[in-house]
Amino acid sequence: MRTETVENYLKTIYNLSADNTAVVANQQLADKLDINPASVTEALRKLHELKYVIYEKSYGTRLTTAGVKMALNIVRRHRIWETYLVKELGFGWDEVHVIAEELEHVKNDKLINKLAEILGNPVFDPHGDPIPDAKGKIQKSNFIKLSEAKSKNNYKVMGVTDHSTAFLKYLDKHHLVIGAGVTIKTIEEYDNSIVLICQKKEVNISPKAAECIIVQTI
């Protein structure tokens, strides 16, 4: 049974479980999927029976090898579609996520591989997230969150972890797009808000926003 529901659960468990080491709580899933916790319990019991997850009652859930495999496949589809929508069809990075949420469920890997080929087998999507290859292999990176950046250093924006239209439009406004170079001017000790320079202009970044911007030292 590989329903859209199953695909969405596995993808979400994958996304919530950093490095696939951490166990995912029911509550986290309920929040992300916008579903009642009672329904999550039910679903996890079924996914456990299907051998896609190891669900330990009242403790947490992690993916099995089969679960990871399917999750990677869906994540690949999602990110390839996002990239295609931006690069080939002219959509903005702030509008592709919702569309990809639907397109990712179209069951045809030849289609995905064709799109990937046209795109030159990209390794990162428009939000800087790594795209698994057809075999499920993912490019490793040494990116950090902007909230972990040090004063006076120079960085390049590599990605975001919040895919909401509101956040991405806010970034666009301040030219904080992928590839942009930024210099940390000051970090406010009191609340960790950051003042940085981007395109010669000062931008004030809240700690919350800094958590969602991924950068690399340059």
Partner DNA sequence: ATTAATTTTTAGGCATACCAAAAATAATAA
Partner DNA sequence: TTATTATTTTTGGTATGCCTAAAAATTAAT
CB 123 within 8 A of CB 141: no
C-alpha distance from residue 58 to each of 26, 41, 81 (Å): 9, 9, 36
- Residue choice 43, 75, 115, 171 for contact with its own copies (CB under 8 A): 115
- Residue choice 19, 34, 90, 135 for contact with its own copies (CB under 8 A): 90
3-state SS assignment for residue 24: strand
> Which token pair is 53?
């997850």
1 binds, among its own copies, Mn ion, DNA, none (CB under 5 to 8 A by kind): DNA
| Residue 76 engages Mn ion in binding (rule: CB under 5 A) | no
> Which token pair is 185?
């001017």
- Residue choice 12, 16, 20, 43 for contact with DNA (CB under 7 A): 43
| Residue 3 engages its own copies in binding (rule: CB under 8 A) | no
| Residue 38 engages DNA in binding (rule: CB under 7 A) | yes
Strand spans (E) along 44-180: 53-56, 60-63, 144-145, 154-160
CB 184 within 8 A of CB 155: yes
35 binds, among its own copies, Mn ion, DNA, none (CB under 5 to 8 A by kind): DNA
- Residue choice 35, 50, 99, 123 for contact with its own copies (CB under 8 A): 99
189, burial (CB in 10 Å: exposed 0-12, middle 13-18, buried 19+):
exposed
Chain-centroid distance, C-alpha 193: 23
Which region among 4-12, 84-92, 95-103, 201-209 touches DNA (by CB under 7 A)?
A: 4-12
Q: Which is nearer to its own copies, 113 or 141 (CB)?
A: 113
| Residue 36 engages DNA in binding (rule: CB under 7 A) | yes
Report how far residue 48's alpha carbon sits from residue 61's, in angstroms, rounded to the nearest whole number.
9
| Cβ neighbours, 10 Å, residue 109 | 13
27 binds, among its own copies, DNA, Mn ion, none (CB under 5 to 8 A by kind): DNA
Measured between its terminal Cα atoms, the distance across the chain in Å is 47
In sequence order, the 6+-apart residues with CB closer than 8 A to the CB of 58 are none
Q: Which is nearer to DNA, 61 or 83 (CB)?
A: 61
| Residue 106 engages its own copies in binding (rule: CB under 8 A) | yes
- Residue choice 32, 54, 60, 154 for contact with DNA (CB under 7 A): 60
Q: Which residues bind DNA (CB under 7 A)?
A: 1, 3-6, 25-27, 30, 34-46, 57-60
Contacts with its own copies, residue ranges (CB under 8 A): 85, 89-91, 99, 102-103, 105-108, 111, 114-115, 118
